[in-house]
């Protein structure tokens, strides 16, 4: 026990002893010891009851805190201790409330819609002002309402069922107005509550659309003048003007490059504007034969080209777009492999029931640091090597877009100085049995 508490305790004991002694003395004086002693004891008990009542009143006080007792006895000490802990508790509560209010005010003022959802019942617990503007939730009507019912126009039930694995919805129409486009995220931040965040991305999407339209329009407008220039350049015979021959050849090369660039930009714009492609049967045997012919034509005998077809299946997808993607990969393999290297094209089944098209080369390879960005537009490991080999920097972007439209994925393995393997994985739903008799393996392997 601390010293000041001990002295208060002794002081109270001393007071009690003093009262009892005084009562005994008074009793002796008047010759009535027991009655006086009993009366004194009752008075002491009564006084302690009064003090106990005061403590209970203090404990039960909800509003105003009375000033602490001033005396030096044990009851006064107890009263002071209670007063102090009550004052501390109230100050802490006030601080917490202020913090809570500040957080609420911050969440309420966010430009993004924030909705707190109770996980088990999937009911709305709280939402901010932006949730009214973006999602149409109203106070107090929607507090406690089932979120799926309130946001009926959004595909909520499947999304909420996915819980932690729910992918963000990048472009969803707002229930308030269809031209208001939203990006929705679900954040399961605790065991009991989830957070639904909605951001207005209408402006961003409009800008993105403007960028796409701009690129598509510019490319389209450039196409005709380029065709004219290209046509006239083709008509010029270097033998008529031998001194112009080197310049003429360079002009032809550059106009060819520009034409290819415009064509690639138009292809990308077209792919970006599509959500899906018509599904047709893609016969892989003729596709592989075409790829081999293209590789050999581009290689001009500088590489060993092999094709292996073990899959025995064909694909569902767009013949034209898949051919464009595959031939980009094959073209890259030829262009980034020095003379004497090998290019292997292989089509095989995957363990998951799908199929894989692999293009392997023994070329320059790609440093690992470049791999994450390699499919971005105009991203090149070496600009000069790409230009020299007639590259536009758009090939792998086209490949990525085509594969996305086929729900396929691209995997790249590469070692600098040893070569690269580009593997295209198609899911089982993209694969169907090949009906025509497959060529015997020996015949389909061509070196
Ligand atoms: P480019 O028209 O420049 O070839 P791509 O988008 O097709 O553009 O490829 C992007 C870059 O990736 C290329 O510039 C090149 O540096 C690298 N690359 C692509 N394929 C290969 C490959 N098979 N081997 C080595 N580097 C490659």
Per residue in 391-437, pLDDT (tens digit) is 889 999 999 999 999 999 999 999 999 999 999 999 999 999 987 54
What tens digit of pLDDT does each residue of 262-310 get? 999 999 999 988 888 888 999 999 999 999 999 999 999 999 999 999 9
What tens digit of pLDDT does each residue of 192-211 get? 999 999 999 999 999 999 99
Least Cα distance to 342 among 248, 230, 420 occurs for 420
Residue 381 CA to ligand 1 centre (angstroms) = 7
**pLDDT value, residue 440:** 44
Confidence of residue 447 (pLDDT cuts 50, 70, 90): very low
Asked whether residue 440 is assigned to any structural domain, the reply reads: no
Asked whether residue 443 is assigned to any structural domain, the reply reads: no
Contacts of 23 (CB under 8 A, 6+ apart): 36, 37, 39, 40, 41
Pocket test for ligand 1, best of 267, 363, 386 (most atoms within 8 A of CB): 386
Q: Is the pTM of this model over 0.75?
A: no
Q: Contact 391/260 with Cβ under 8 angstroms? A: no
Confidence of residue 438 (pLDDT cuts 50, 70, 90): very low
**Residues 399 and 327 both lie in one domain:** yes
Q: Is the CB of 398 under 6 A from ligand 1?
A: no
**Residues 189 and 159 both lie in one domain:** yes
**Residues 82 and 126 both lie in one domain:** no
**pLDDT value, residue 336:** 95
Name the 3-class secondary structure at 308.
Answer: strand
Residue 142 confidence (pLDDT) above 50: yes
Q: Is the CB of 363 under 6 A from ligand 1?
A: yes
Pocket test for ligand 1, best of 267, 271, 381, 414 (most atoms within 8 A of CB): 381
Q: Contact 137/131 with Cβ under 8 angstroms? A: yes
The CATH number covering residue 265 comes to: 1.10.287.130
Q: Is the CB of 336 under 6 A from ligand 1?
A: yes
Q: Contact 151/138 with Cβ under 8 angstroms? A: no
Q: Is the CB of 427 under 6 A from ligand 1?
A: no
Strand order through the sheet with 169-173: 123-127, 113-118, 193-200, 181-187, 169-173
Q: Is the CB of 395 under 6 A from ligand 1?
A: yes
**Atom number in ligand 1 closest to CA 387:** 3
Asked whether residue 304 is assigned to any structural domain, the reply reads: yes
Pocket test for ligand 1, best of 336, 384, 415 (most atoms within 8 A of CB): 336
Confidence of residue 61 (pLDDT cuts 50, 70, 90): confident
Count other Cβ atoms within 10 Å, centred on residue 4: 11
Name the 3-class secondary structure at 126.
Answer: strand
Name the 3-class secondary structure at 431.
Answer: strand
**Atom number in ligand 1 closest to CA 381:** 16
Asked whether residue 439 is assigned to any structural domain, the reply reads: no
**pLDDT value, residue 202:** 95
**Residues 185 and 221 both lie in one domain:** no
Count other Cβ atoms within 10 Å, centred on residue 43: 12
Q: Is the CB of 362 under 6 A from ligand 1?
A: no
Residue 65 confidence (pLDDT) above 90: no
Which of 227, 255, 272 lies at the terminal end of a domain, its last residue? 272
Where are any strands of DSSP class E within 76-216? 113-118, 123-127, 169-173, 181-187, 193-200
**Residues 87 and 219 both lie in one domain:** no
Asked whether residue 83 is assigned to any structural domain, the reply reads: yes
What tens digit of pLDDT does each residue of 300-323 get? 999 999 999 999 999 999 999 999
Residue 66 confidence (pLDDT) above 80: no
What tens digit of pLDDT does each residue of 229-243 get? 989 998 988 888 889
Smallest CA separation from ligand 1 atom 19, residue: 332
Which of 149, 168, 200 lies at the terminal end of a domain, its last residue? 200
Residue 418 CA to ligand 1 centre (angstroms) = 15
Name the 3-class secondary structure at 210.
Answer: helix
Q: Is the CB of 359 under 6 A from ligand 1?
A: no
**Residues 19 and 97 both lie in one domain:** yes
Q: In angstroms, how far is CA 329 from the centroid of its own chain?
A: 29
Return left, alpha or beta for 158; rule: phi > 0 is left, psi -120 to 50 is alpha, else beta.
alpha
Residue 364 CA to ligand 1 centre (angstroms) = 10
Smallest CA separation from ligand 1 atom 4, residue: 391
Residue 395 CA to ligand 1 centre (angstroms) = 7
Pocket test for ligand 1, best of 374, 387, 418 (most atoms within 8 A of CB): 374
Smallest CA separation from ligand 1 atom 7, residue: 395
**pLDDT value, residue 283:** 95
User: Token pair of 55, please?
Assistant: 């403590």
Question: Mean pLDDT throughout 60-75?
Answer: 78
Name the least confident of 30-39, 62-71, 233-242, 302-311.
62-71
Name the least confident of 27-41, 58-72, 108-122, 355-369.
58-72
Q: Contact 144/126 with Cβ under 8 angstroms? A: no
The CATH number covering residue 161 comes to: 3.30.450.20
Asked whether residue 339 is assigned to any structural domain, the reply reads: yes
What's the number of domains the chain is made of?
4
Contacts of 303 (CB under 8 A, 6+ apart): 295, 334, 337, 339, 340, 341, 342, 343
Residue 380 CA to ligand 1 centre (angstroms) = 6
What average pLDDT is seen over the chain? 90
**pLDDT value, residue 391:** 85
Q: What are phi and psi of 435, to 5 degrees?
A: -90, -35
**Residues 25 and 72 both lie in one domain:** yes
**Residues 292 and 428 both lie in one domain:** yes
Name the least confident of 17-21, 136-140, 156-160, 417-421.
156-160
For a pLDDT cut of 70, what percent of the chain falls above it?
97
Pocket test for ligand 1, best of 263, 332, 344, 387 (most atoms within 8 A of CB): 332
Which domain covers residue 130, as residue numbers?
Answer: 110-200
Pocket test for ligand 1, best of 396, 418, 421 (most atoms within 8 A of CB): 396
Residues in the chain: 447
| Helix 395-405 vs helix 245-272: crossing angle, to nearest 10 | 20
Residue 431 CA to ligand 1 centre (angstroms) = 28
Asked whether residue 190 is assigned to any structural domain, the reply reads: yes
Asked whether residue 412 is assigned to any structural domain, the reply reads: yes
Residue 389 CA to ligand 1 centre (angstroms) = 10
Residue 65: DSSP 8-state: P
Which of 42, 73, 101 lies at the terminal end of a domain, its last residue? 101
**Residues 17 and 89 both lie in one domain:** yes
**Residues 88 and 190 both lie in one domain:** no
Question: Mean pLDDT throughout 12-41?
Answer: 91
Residue 32 confidence (pLDDT) above 80: yes
Question: Mean pLDDT throughout 143-164?
Answer: 87
Residue 72 confidence (pLDDT) above 90: no
- Residue ranges of the alpha helices (H) in 301-413? 319-335, 383-388, 395-405
Contacts of 197 (CB under 8 A, 6+ apart): 112, 113, 114, 115, 184, 185, 186, 187
Specify the residue for token string 């694909």: 315
For a pLDDT cut of 90, what percent of the chain falls above it?
64
409, 415, 428 from 412: Cα distances, Å: 10, 10, 21
**CB-neighbour burial class of residue 287 (10 A; exposed 0-12, middle 13-18, buried 19+):** buried
**Residues 189 and 211 both lie in one domain:** no
Contacts of 129 (CB under 8 A, 6+ apart): 108, 109
Contacts of 351 (CB under 8 A, 6+ apart): none
**Residues 370 and 245 both lie in one domain:** no
The CATH number covering residue 405 comes to: 3.30.565.10
């Amino acid at each position: 026990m601390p010293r000041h508490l001990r002295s208060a305790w002794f002081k109270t004991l001393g007071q009690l002893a003093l009262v009892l002694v005084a009562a005994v003395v008074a009793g002796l004086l008047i010759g009535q010891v027991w009655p006086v002693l009993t009366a004194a004891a009752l008075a002491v008990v009564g006084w302690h009851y009064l003090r106990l009542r005061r403590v209970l009143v203090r404990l039960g006080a909800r509003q105003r805190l009375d000033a602490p007792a001033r005396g030096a006895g044990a009851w006064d000490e107890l009263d002071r201790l209670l007063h102090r802990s009550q004052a501390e508790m109230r100050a802490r509560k006030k601080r917490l409330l202020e913090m809570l209010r500040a957080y609420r005010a911050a969440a309420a003022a966010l430009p993004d819609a924030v909705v707190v959802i109770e996980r088990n019942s999937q009911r709305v617990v709280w939402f901010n002002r932006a949730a009214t503007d973006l999602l149409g939730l109203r106070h107090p009507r929607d507090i406690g309402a089932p979120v799926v019912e309130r946001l009926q126009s959004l595909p909520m039930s499947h999304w909420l069922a996915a819980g932690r694995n729910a992918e963000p919805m990048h472009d969803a129409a707002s229930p308030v107005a269809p031209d208001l486009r939203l990006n929705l995220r679900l954040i399961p931040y605790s065991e009991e509550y989830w957070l639904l965040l909605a951001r207005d991305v209408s402006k961003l999407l409009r800008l993105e659309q403007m960028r796409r339209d701009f690129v598509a329009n510019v490319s389209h407008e450039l196409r005709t003048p380029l065709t004219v220039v290209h046509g006239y350049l083709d008509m010029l015979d270097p033998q008529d003007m031998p001194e112009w021959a080197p310049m003429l050849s360079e002009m032809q090369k550059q106009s060819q490059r520009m034409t290819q660039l415009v064509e690639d930009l138009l292809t990308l714009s077209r792919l970006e504007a599509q959500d899906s492609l018509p599904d047709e049967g893609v016969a892989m045997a003729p596709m592989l034969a075409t790829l081999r012919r293209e590789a050999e034509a581009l290689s001009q005998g500088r590489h060993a080209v092999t094709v292996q077809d073990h899959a025995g299946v064909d694909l569902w997808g767009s013949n034209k777009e898949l051919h464009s993607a595959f031939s980009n990969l094959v073209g890259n393999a030829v262009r980034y492999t020095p003379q004497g290297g090998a290019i292997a094209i292989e089509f095989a089944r995957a363990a998951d029931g799908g199929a894989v098209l692999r293009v392997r080369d023994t070329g320059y390879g790609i440093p690992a640091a470049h791999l994450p960005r390699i499919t971005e537009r105009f991203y090149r490991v070496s600009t000069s090597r790409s230009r020299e080999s007639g590259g536009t920097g758009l090939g792998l972007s086209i490949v990525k877009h085509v594969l996305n439209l086929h729900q396929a994925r691209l995997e790249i393995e590469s070692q600098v100085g040893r070569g690269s393997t580009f593997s295209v994985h198609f899911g089982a739903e993209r694969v169907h049995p090949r009906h025509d008799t497959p060529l015997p393996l020996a015949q389909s392997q061509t070196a």
